[in-house]
Structure 1
Amino acid sequence: MATEPVRVGAIDCGTNSIRLLIAEARVDGSLIDLVRELEIVRLGQGVDATGELHPDALARTFAAAERYGEQLRAYGVRPERTRVVATSATRDARNVEDFDAGMAARLGVRPEIISGTEEARLSFTGALSGVRVASDGPILVMDIGGGSTELVLGDRTGRIDRAVSLNIGSVRLTERFGLVGPLTTEARQSAAAYVDGLLDQLEWPSGLLGQIGSWIGVAGTVTTMSALKQGLISYDRSKVHGSVLSLAEIAGLSNRLATLTTEEIHDLGVPAGRADVITAGSLIADRVANRVGRPMIVSESDILDGIVLGLLAR
């Protein structure tokens, strides 16, 4: 009797977006994407200031979860082969029980509020699954989210040596420092100093970030930066994945975005819901780039892929 392909589902609920990946493992061992979607719901709206998930943010997230649940059922993905993870915004919210109950009711699966360390591990695994690195040296994976930024150091075998989750993300930084452009010199310098301060506090050997062999960036900030560099008015995943941003290009994009309004950024092809926070995200990327000192490989393979691979390994 022929073995049926295995289908699994992964949902990543972040501070700015909620994403779905339905994948199928074929009998020959290959893995294909059946559905890969993203909706910007801004779950972390105001969490940094209030410590609670806003009712409007919950409503937007639940509406997206309802649609994702319908797709999981349509593709025959069973609950035991589905994993839903939630990250920075829910880790910081007092009313997370409302989120938990609402998501479970719509998906038939309870969300897991994962630690920053687990988020970093999944991002590293996912990034390495889709990007080949030429160097044998240490690999740094950077995941800039809406509420936090993960930095993970490991090697091409998948071993992780160090991982940290910093409470700096595109939404959190935008709200905390009012980074809606054009930026004032004071706001930009204050935000940069804050990011630098957190990087200075890393309990890693001095200069370690400058000793890596390869640097991979994942998630919406860096993929959007790549699309902007390439002048893509219509987003093309195939052109973004595996692209490279030089140090000069990262700095140039950060400088340029700081001079633009949200409307002007949106006119460049950045979708609503990201256009108002990409300036802060690019600032984080630039401050990390300043320490790494080498080009960044942009990967579309990320935490979702890490979740799927974990489900298939069970």
Structure 2
Amino acid sequence: MDEPETVGFIDVGTNSVHLLVVEFHNDSMGTPIYQDKEVVRLGESLYRDGRLDKAAIDKCSLVVSKFSQMSRGLGASKVYAYGTCACREADNRNELLEAIRKEGLDVRVIPGLEEARLISLGVFGPTGPRERTLEIDIGGGSTEIILRQGEENLFLDSLDMGAVRYSYGLGVDTTVPVSDRDYDALRRHVDLASFRAVRAVRDLGFDRAVGSSGTMINLAEMCAARRGGDSSYFTHDELVKLMSEILPMTSQQRADIPKINRNRVDIIVAGGAIAEELMHLFGIERIEISERGLKQGMHIEYLLRRGYTNFDVKESSVRGLANRCQYDRGHAERVRELSLALFDGMRELGLHRMGDDLRGLLGYAALLHDIGEFISYTKHHVHSYTIILNSYMLGFDYRELRAMALMAKFHHKKFPNRYDRLFRDLEEAETDDILRCAMILKTANVMDRHRNGAVKEIRLSVSLGDLVVEIVPQEGTDVSMEIWRLGAMSEEFSAVFELCLSPVLEVGRSF
């Protein structure tokens, strides 16, 4: 891909139609530049009446057409559309496909196992997770079960159960208060539909669980609102308590639940029943949430089909976001180099025990620490935090995004302590690691504050309770200001690492 290219990806789902527009440049994996979603409810008439009704077909074809036009308006030279469960199952699916074709776009209808494979690709990327990870994606018509480790899908299945299917196809009215008996009936349907997948996955075993799709995301948001924390996960106990409160409510009453998606008030009971029972059957106490799914899998599949092999997913994602924000590449590279030199040197001296995972996040945070300047230099550290936290960069989970965002935020201005409100949901050890990395990043940034590459390298040693930073300057440069600024931040450095910062000019040189 020598020339920049923009491509649109449309996921025609049973409940919603999703759009992702990606810009590819500089041989990168691409940067998402636009996302959208519209509820069309193809599955409501399908599972209630056995066919797609005209209203659903008309709305879906209109939305797909508008999404295609939006993609073209953003510069897309190609637009791809994939149809999932409702497109697979409806007897009159050709009416829908023909209506969309008249709008100028062909929809590729994919089998359930292909849907599961693409979701795996979207959630985990091409290189996959190091830990053996169970992924559960609860859609409108089907639920995909994936067991992934590294590049290999150890198990894939697409089950005939979904939030819309169970809300309108089982004879249980989920728009009114749902009795314990009816809720138990929904859970028994989950048991019957999933027992083979549950047995296979439990035999293989897994280390962690991840959930994706609108149902899982909204359940996490509601649990987080009750907990007063972030929505990157929820526990089985939290879900049981949430569902016990939802069941006696009507759809209208559910609309007042904090953080509920009002488009889901009639299908959240069925979605919750599927999530609760699967967590019980698999023995999942805590499930992490991913914002990624099928459309991101379409994006990665597009790269694979075109022979793209440079799948350093995280590096490419970071570079793509940085380029999008028009970052100062030279400064970012120097700050990254100095940050990692500090990290490595201090680890060798026994001043911390942080591992390579944190080292990698620190390096990425260094590349991104100033991207908030794309919005404004004023409070750019705050803007950097917001952009990184909400970037959904491929290859990173929410905890990693949050860690990098916090490191970037605190590279500038007042440095926090562990009691800052932004750390309230973190374990103490995780907070301390982020503070250490943020202080290292802040120190490195000071050494290139003038963005002229004046500091060539650094040498570290410990003397009389101080961390001595010997500055080796580039020939012909003056580093007196850098040394002065490092000395000025010695007290806040000491608050994090319990030793003072003592910057000195390379032995044998003078100002």
Cα distance, 1:50 vs structure 2: 2.9
Contact residue 126 and residue 302 of structure 1 kept, 8 A: yes
Cα distance, 1:30 vs structure 2: 5.0
Matched, 1:104 2:101: yes
Contact residue 139 and residue 212 of structure 1 kept, 8 A: yes
How many angstroms apart in 2 are the aligned matches of 1:98 and 1:199? 31
Contact residue 21 and residue 35 of structure 1 kept, 8 A: yes
How many angstroms apart in 2 are the aligned matches of 1:95 and 1:69? 23
Structure 1: gaps spanning 5 or more residues:
233-238
Give 2:152's aligned residue: 159
Q: 1:39 to 1:206 in 2, by over 3 A?
A: closer
Structure 2: gaps spanning 5 or more residues:
307-511
Matched, 1:179 2:174: yes
Matched, 1:169 2:162: yes
What is the identity, as a one-letter code, of the residue corresponding to 1:309?
A: I
Deviations 1:148-173 (A, max 9, x none): 11101121x23112111111100110
How many angstroms apart in 2 are the aligned matches of 1:38 and 1:77? 18
Contact residue 17 and residue 40 of structure 1 kept, 8 A: yes
1:98-137 equivalences under 5 Å are 98-106=95-103, 108-129=104-125, 136-137=130-131
Matched, 1:296 2:316: no
Contact residue 129 and residue 301 of structure 1 kept, 8 A: no
How many angstroms apart in 2 are the aligned matches of 1:291 and 1:138? 18
What is the identity, as a one-letter code, of the residue corresponding to 1:120?
A: A
Give 1:62's aligned residue: 61
Q: 1:131 to 1:279 in 2, by over 3 A?
A: farther
Match of 2:296 among 289, 305, 309: 305
Largest Rg, 1 or 2:
2
Give 2:217's aligned residue: 223
Cα distance, 1:254 vs structure 2: 2.5
Ranges of 4+ aligned residues in structure 1 off by more than 6 Å: none
Q: 1:206 to 1:59 in 2, by over 3 A?
A: closer
Cα distance, 1:28 vs structure 2: 5.5
How many angstroms apart in 1 are the aligned matches of 2:134 and 2:119? 11
Contact residue 126 and residue 300 of structure 2 kept, 8 A: no
Q: 1:311 to 1:131 in 2, by over 3 A?
A: closer
Give 1:83's aligned residue: 80
> Aligned pair count?
298
What is the identity, as a one-letter code, of the residue corresponding to 2:145?
A: L
Q: 1:206 to 1:13 in 2, by over 3 A?
A: closer
- Over aligned residues, Cα RMSD in angstroms? 2.3
Give 2:203's aligned residue: 208
What is the identity, as a one-letter code, of the residue corresponding to 2:256?
A: D
What is the identity, as a one-letter code, of the residue corresponding to 2:271?
A: G
Matched, 1:189 2:184: yes
Give 1:235's aligned residue: none
Contact residue 122 and residue 298 of structure 2 kept, 8 A: yes
How many angstroms apart in 1 are the aligned matches of 2:201 and 2:28? 42
How many angstroms apart in 2 are the aligned matches of 1:40 and 1:111? 18
Deviations 1:65-101 (A, max 9, x none): 122121011022123xx22111111211111111111
Contact residue 125 and residue 158 of structure 1 kept, 8 A: no
How many angstroms apart in 2 are the aligned matches of 1:254 and 1:130? 35
SS of residue matched to 1:38: strand
Q: 1:193 to 1:31 in 2, by over 3 A?
A: same
Give 1:4's aligned residue: 3
The TM-score with structure 1 as length reference comes to 0.88
Give 1:93's aligned residue: 90
Deviates more, 1:270-279 or 1:137-146: 270-279
How many angstroms apart in 2 are the aligned matches of 1:131 and 1:60? 37
- Indicate the percent of aligned positions where both proteins have the same amino acid: 26
Deviations 1:189-227 (A, max 9, x none): 111111111222438437337x31121111100110111
Contact residue 20 and residue 38 of structure 1 kept, 8 A: yes
Q: 1:131 to 1:18 in 2, by over 3 A?
A: farther
Which of the pair has the greater relative contact order for Cα pairs under 8 Å at 6+ separation? 1
SS of residue matched to 1:267: coil
